[in-house]
Structure 1
Amino acid sequence: MKAALQNYRARMRRVLDHIDRHLDDGLDLESLSTVAAFSKFHFHRQFTATFGLSVHRYVQLARLKRASYRLAYSDALGVTDIAMDAGYDAPDAFARAFRQRFGQSPSSFRKSPDWEPWLAAFGPLDNARSKLMQTTFTTDDVTIRDVPATKVAIMEHRGDPATLGATIRRFVAWRKAANLHPSKHPTFNVWRSERRPASPADYSVDLCVGTDQPIAGCGEAIKAGEIPGGRCAVLRVVGYTDNLEPAALYLYRDWLPASGEEARDFPIYCQRLSFFPEVPEHETVAELFLPLK
C-alpha cells in the first residue's frame, strides 16, 4: 500500500511539474492525464480529490501567480505581453480576471501591489502544492561545510509578514539600480524571528545581496553587513522554496539534537540559488544554513 501511494503521488507530482514547465501551452485535461498515466475519464476527479481544486483553477492560479510576479518585479514586459503569456486572448479579459482575484487592475498592481489579498488569493494554490512538497528529510540530506565570510548589503524587513512583498519589491528595484545581478552577486535571507511569530509586528528578516561595493550613499534603507564564515549545517531544498519552514524545523528539531553539534550565535539563513519566474517554481533552489560552533 505504501509503495502504491508513493507511486500515485509521484505521478501527481509529475503533473504539477509539467504544468509549471508548460504554462504557455494548452494544458488540456487529455494531455495532463497522459502525463500522469491516468484515464482521461477520471483524471479531473482524481486531481480535485488530491489537491482540493480543479485542474482548470490550478492552471489559472499558476499562470496568474507568474503574471503577478512579472508585473511586480519585471518592468521589461508590458501588460499585454504578460496577459498573453497568462493564456488570455485580450488584455481586458486578463484585467477582469486579475481584478476579480486581487482587487486591483494589473496596471495598479504594477505601480503599488496590495499584497494581503494577493496572499489570500494564492492560499488554495499553496495548499495544493504543500500536499506533495518534500517536508521530511534525513541526515543524508545535510552536509557540514566551512563557508567563507560574505560582505553584504542589507535591506531589513521588520513587521507584518503580509507586507514582505513590498520590501522585496524595493530590494529588487535597488539591486537592479546598483547593478547587482543575482548571477554574479549571491542572494541571502537571514531570519531573525519565527516565520509566524505570536505578534505579526515581531516578524523580522534581512534581505541581503553579496557585494564588496561601498554602501555609503545608498540611503537609509540599505546598510552594510556581513554573513560570518565558519562551519554550517547545509540543507538544500529544491522546488517551491517560498516556505522553508519544514526544512528549518528538521534542522532544529531532528538533525541538531542527534548530531552532537551546537548552534553558533548567528541566525539561520538561506541562499537563494535560482528564482521564480526565471525558472519554473518546481526548479527553484535554496540552501539553508545553520551556523555551528
Structure 2
Amino acid sequence: MTDADGKARSHYLARMRRARDHIDSHLDEALDLDTISAVASFSPAHFHRQFRALFGLTLHRYIQLARFKRAATRLAYGSESITRIALEAGYETPQAFSRAFRLRAGQIPSSFRKTPDWAAWETSCTALDVARSTLMTQHYTLDAVTIREVAATRIAVMTHQGAPEGLGQTIQRFIAWRRANGLTPRNSATYTLFPDDPETTPPDHYRVGLCVGTDKAISAFDEAIEISSLPAGRCAVLRVTGIIDHLEEAASELYRQWLPESGEETRSFPLYCQRIAFFPEVPEHKSVAELYLPLK
C-alpha cells in the first residue's frame, strides 16, 4: 500500500467513524439515512452497504442496539421513569418498548430494573460492542502520562468481591446508596479502586472498590460501606477517553511500558481511577477516566 493509499483509507475510516459517533451522540433524535450519510459526506445510495461492510451491522440495527444499550443502562443505574426511557429510545409507547426490550434482554423493563440478567444483557450487546471496537474510539497515549502531587481524599467505599460478571449488581447497590445519601456524581467525585488483576486473580477473590469522594458526615453508613482515603503523594496519571468500561488495556500499558521506562517505583496503594464523564450521561465515545498509579 502506498502512502497515498494509506492516507485515503485513513480519511475514509475517519468519515465512517464520524458517522457512527454522530449516531451515538444523537440517539434522542430522528436518525435517517440522509442525515447520517451527510455527516460522513457519502452518497445515501451506497451508505447502507458501506456501513454494514465496515461495522458488521446494518445502520438500522446499529441504531436499535445503541438505543437499547443506553436504555438498559438507564434502567439499571438511573431513576428516570420507564415511560421517559421508552420515549427517548424512540418508542411511541411503553408497551412497544417493553415488547422490544423483552425480545433482546429476556426481561421486561421493570424486571430488568429490579434484578438485571447481566449475562443476557451482555450477549444482546455483543454485536454493538464489536461494531464500536472496529474503529476503537477509546484512546490514550503514554506520552501524555503526567506526574501529579495528589492531595489526600476521604472516600466511602463499597467493595465488590467475586467474579467480574457480578460487578453490575454491586454497582446497582452502590448507586442506590449514593442516591439515598445525596452523593450524586454531580456533587461528589467517583473513583474505582483496582487492588486485583482480573487476569491473575481467582474469580472468587477478585475485588473492585466503588468509591465516592466525600467529607460529608454520615452517621449511619450501610454495613457494606467503609470509610477510607486516597493517600496524598505523587501519582502517574493517564487520561483515557472513549469506552471506559474496561481499562485493563490502558493499565497494562502503564505497567508494561511506561513504568519500566520511567525509572519510577510504585507505592503500596493500588491503581485507581477517577471517572470524570461516563455513559449514559454522555455518549460512550465521550466518556473520560483518569488512571492513577501511586508512586514513591
TM-score range, shorter chain: over 0.9
Q: How does 1:176-195 map to 2 (within 5 A)?
A: 176-195=179-198
Pairwise mapping of residues 57-72 of structure 1 onto structure 2 (< 5 A)? 57-72=61-76
SS in 2 for 1:193: coil
**Aligned pair in 2 of structure 1 residues 198, 207: CA closer, same or farther (>3 Å)?**
closer
Deviates more, 1:152-161 or 1:205-214: 205-214
Aligned counterparts of 1:98 and 1:65: Cα–Cα separation in 2: 10
Shift of 1:5: 2.6
Match of 1:248 in 2: 251
Of stretches 215-224 and 194-203 in structure 1, the one that deviates more from structure 2 is 194-203
Question: Structure 1: which 4+ aligned runs deviate by more than 4 Å?
Answer: 134-137
Residue aligning to 1:27: 31
Matching residue of 2:262? 259
CA deviation map 1:113-159 (0-9, x unaligned): 12111122111111211222256643432111111111100000011
Deviation at 1:176, TM superposition (A): 0.9
Structure 1 unpaired stretches of 5+: none
Q: Would you say the 8 A contact 2:137–2:285 is kept in 1?
A: no
Structure 2: how far apart are the matches of 1:277 and 1:136? Answer: 19
- Residue of structure 2 equivalent to 1:116: 119
Matches within 5 A, 1:147-166: 147-166=150-169
Q: Aligned residue pairs: how many?
A: 292
Local SS of the residue matching 2:42: coil
Report the equivalent of 1:173: 176
On the 8 A contact 2:139/2:242 being kept in 1, the answer is no
Structure 1 length-normalised TM: 0.94
Q: What secondary structure is seen at the aligned counterpart in 1 of 2:282? A: coil
| Match in the other structure for 1:86 | 89
Aligned partner of residue 88 in structure 1, secondary structure: coil
Q: CA deviation at 1:276?
A: 1.7
Q: 1:212 aligns with which of 211, 215, 233?
A: 215
Q: Structure 2: how far apart are the matches of 1:127 and 1:198?
A: 26
The one-letter code matched in structure 2 to 1:256 is L
Counterpart in the other structure of 1:141: 144
Secondary structure of 2:44 counterpart: coil
Distance 1:266 1:134 in 2: 30
Q: Which residue number corresponds to residue 279 of structure 2?
A: 276
Is the deviation greater in 151-160 or in 279-288? Answer: 279-288
Structure 2, gaps ≥5 residues long: none
**Alignment pair present for 1:40 and 2:34:** no
Identity of aligned pairs, percent? 57
Q: Distance in 2 between matches of 1:177 and 1:224?
A: 17
Q: Structure 1 CA distance, aligned partners of 2:10 and 2:198?
A: 29
Q: Distance in 2 between matches of 1:12 and 1:195?
A: 33
| SS of residue paired to 2:204 | helix
Do structure 1's residue 11 and structure 2's residue 20 form an aligned pair? no
Q: Please identify, of 34-43 and 126-135, the stretch whose mean Cα deviation from structure 2 is larger.
A: 126-135
| Contact 1:116/1:163 (8 A) holds in 2 | no
Counterpart of 2:228 in 1: which secondary structure?
A: strand
Cα distance in structure 2, aligned partners of 1:135 and 1:110: 28
Matched letter for residue 187 of structure 1? T
State the TM-score, normalized to the length of structure 2. 0.93
